[in-house]
Structure 1
Amino acid sequence: MYQARIPSRSEYLPIRSYRYHLRRWGPATPGEAPLILLHGWMDVAASWQFVVDALADTALGQRHLVAPDWRGFGLTRSCHANDEHPSHYGDADHYTFADYLADLDLLIARINEGLNRAPDAPVDLVGHSMGGNVAMLYSGIRPQRVRRLVNLEGFGMPASRPSQAPGRYAKWLDALQGLRQGELALKTYADVHGVARRLMKTNPRLPAGHALWLAHHWAAPNAQGQWEILGDPAHKVISAQLYRADETLEIWKRITAPVLAVEATDDSLAQWFKQGEYSLAEYHERLRVVPNHRIEVIQDAGHMLHHDQPQALARLLETFLCQ
């Protein structure tokens, strides 16, 4: 099994009725800006371990790194959750981007205060997928609080039309009913090796040893001995609101931090969406509104590029964040 070079330290912070779990690496030097790592959908903070270990060989090796488990993922749970059940996260029946933004706003303030910094002092953000989307939005809403931003395949979603709203609300209501009836329950596994095989099936590039290490953080055994994914099934409930690309672009226009947009050679958008629905070319066109950005591509990697090529990503982070 993979052996972490720089083990993380766990910490919990009260954030908006949640007991937020954070992983920290590196020395917490008072006054120095932290680098905050934001994971994606159905992932956990421990997912950054391979990149953290790769950063040990760069100029960022002594940087203080912090990665939260988003609400409803990993070890972050509502204050009303039953801690005896690993898959019980509280009473939420859906999650919204507005909540992620509000959580991040307070998290940055608390992390800064713990380092004897002003609550609104600028930090560096790295976000993957959903975490990248949150980071992009946050950087346009609170531009003064972000020094540099790295977006790892946080593409956003296809543009929507107002005529889709009635159907979207209906799908949301149907999904809530399905959640209550247990139709959205996550699959369980007989042992941790089953979880590792699941991770390798999703990402064939993931080495077996890495998958087994990650499985211990991505899932946990329940009272019956079955391994459950550490994610709230309510995350599978579709958003009630349409994705408004026009609103998103207005926010992106207000980003003042330099932005590094990192992509994998595997075209994730081509795999997820029908031809013409949303493409990499359209994403690049959207990025044109971001005042100061550049695009880098990591070779031989898929959407989980921080697992596939952690050393290559670490080199990009070193070049960009040390400027």
Structure 2
Amino acid sequence: MSTISSYTPDRTSTTKQVQIRGDVSYRLRRWPALEEAGRGAPPLLLAHGWMDVGASFQRFVDTLSIEREVIALDWRGFGGSKASRPGDSYWFYDYYADLDAIIDHISPHAPLDLLGHSMGGNIAMIYAGTCPGRIRRLVNVEGFGLARTLPSEAPARLARWLSELKTPASMRTFASLQDVADHLMKRSPHMDERFALWLAGEWTELKADGRRHVLADAVHKRVNPMLYRCDEVLAAWENIEAAVLWVEGDKANQNPLNHERYTREEFEERLGRIKSLERLRIDDCGHMVHLDQPGALAQAVERFLDD
């Protein structure tokens, strides 16, 4: 067992459950504005990626010098957010509607700033192009989008989903917090081990079997029967009015581009559709930018938001 002490957050957060859209309980983690001057700035909303939780932004928030309010959500089916009735799949259109409801709750009368990582970045881009008046500034961290699909792929995709429905979905469990931290550091090799141990307690829960269970619905692991509608996605990207900061890590082999079906050249063409785009590549960093290099990300974000 490691003797390394856990991370102690510099900026304290509180969590609360918000009921949205009738039957969905969303967990919001809030870091309040530090001083009176920061209370006039728009809030910054953080949206995590697949198999992550809002708490993973803690070290990023700790390194921010901006004084504004910061809020991180747990997407439905992750962390502390869940619908009252479990389903067979998670639909991206629900995520868009959830985000809209959360923004209504946080900042109903003024646009806010939004940062999304990976899946959260993809959702944020679609939302910002659908409701451009709601977002002042947008930071997309490694939200590449998916490879273009063809209608001819639909029968096989649907057949795979139907097949997967016949088997109960399951998630990996862990024997200890240290095992969880080791797993997190394998996924994010540059992450500080102290923070990994702290995050392990936020990312999992101890259950009656004595093992640590990931706070995520195993249904997320099933294939989605819906094809990725690339042309519709790009139409939304073209409609974004907010200035966009695109951030990626320099470890290209760790990003989610599929070099056979989704090339870098195609992604660059997609980025070219954004009206106001600034780009940043962070060194010694993989896909989990906020975990590998939270300080560098924080510095870039606060400069971008204050420009």
TM bucket (normalised to shorter chain) is: over 0.9
For 2:235 and 2:248, the matched residues in 1 are separated by 23
Structure 1 unaligned regions, length at least 5: 81-89, 113-118
Q: What is the TM-score of this pair, normalised by structure 1?
A: 0.89
8 Å CA contact retained: 1:33, 1:122: yes
The DSSP-based 3-state class of the residue aligned with 1:294 is strand
Match of 1:150 among 139, 154, 172: 139
Q: How many equivalent residue pairs?
A: 298
Q: How does 1:1-323 map to 2 (within 5 A)?
A: 1-16=6-21, 17-27=23-33, 32-55=41-64, 58=65, 60=66, 62-78=67-83, 80=84, 90-112=85-107, 119-178=108-167, 182=168, 184-268=169-253, 273=258, 275-323=259-307
In structure 1, C-alpha distance between the alignment counterparts of 2:243 and 2:182, rounded to whole Å? 38
Summarize the Cα distance change of 1:250–1:63 in structure 2 as closer, same or farther, 3 Å threshold.
same
- How many Å apart are 1:231 and its aligned residue? 0.3
* Alpha-carbon separation, structure 1, partners of 2:74 and 2:256: 27
Q: CA deviation at 1:200?
A: 1.6
User: Structure 2 CA distance, aligned partners of 1:26 and 1:238?
Assistant: 38
2:149 match: secondary structure: coil
Deviation at 1:288, TM superposition (A): 0.8
Q: Say if 2:142 and 2:255, in contact at 8 Å, map to a contact too.
A: no
Amino acid aligned to 1:44: V
1:15, distance to aligned residue in structure 2 (A): 1.0
| Aligned-partner residue type, residue 162 of structure 1 | P
The residue matched to 1:316 in structure 2 has which SS? helix
Give, in angstroms, the shift of residue 214 of structure 1: 0.6
Deviations 1:89-140 (A, max 9, x none): x41221011000000001000112xxxxxx2421100000000000000000
CA displacement at 1:51 relative to structure 2:
0.5
Identity fraction in percent? 45
Q: CA RMSD in A?
A: 1.6
Is the 8 Å Cα contact of residues 181 and 196 (structure 2) preserved in structure 1?
yes
Which residue identity is paired with 2:212? W
Residue 268 of structure 1, CA deviation: 4.9
Q: CA deviation at 1:32?
A: 4.2
Residues 1:271 and 1:148: Cα distance change in structure 2 (over 3 Å): closer
User: Partner letter of residue 221 of structure 1?
Assistant: L
Shift of 1:186: 0.6
Letter of the 1:26 counterpart:
P
> What CA distance in whole angstroms lies between the structure 1 residues aligned with 2:251 and 2:142?
11
| Alignment partners' CA distance in 1, 2:254 and 2:145 | 10
